[in-house]
Amino acid sequence: MANSKAAIKYIRKTETRTIRNRQAKSRLKTLARKVEQATASGDKDALAEASKGYISALEKASSKGIVHANKVARHKARHAALLAS
């Protein structure tokens, strides 16, 4: 257990950040699933809309340090290729 007030505060902050990061990652997975469903259905408009939302969420997560920048670049490239084909 924590021995100081500062350590207790640090534990509280860590728990809050963990919850926030988990929510953001869960949202990304949900949006990725929507993109996969749109790809499977073959609807170009739905795919474009789903990709737009997913890439936007990825960039926001990257700016907050939740997702690595290289992952964002890789997914953006793959979705651009998917939309182009």
The pLDDT tens digits of the residues spanning 9-54 come to 999 999 999 999 999 999 999 999 999 999 999 888 999 999 999 9
Q: What domains appear along the chain, each with residue ranges and CATH number?
A: 5-84 (1.20.58.110)
AA identity, residue 53: G
Q: Is the pLDDT of residue 3 over 90?
A: no
Question: What is the end-to-end Cα distance of the chain in Å, rounded?
Answer: 56
Q: Is the pLDDT of residue 77 over 80?
A: yes
Predicted local confidence at residue 54, as pLDDT: 95
**Between helices 5-41 and 44-63, what is the axis angle to 10°?**
160
Confidence at 70, pLDDT banded by 50, 70, 90: very high
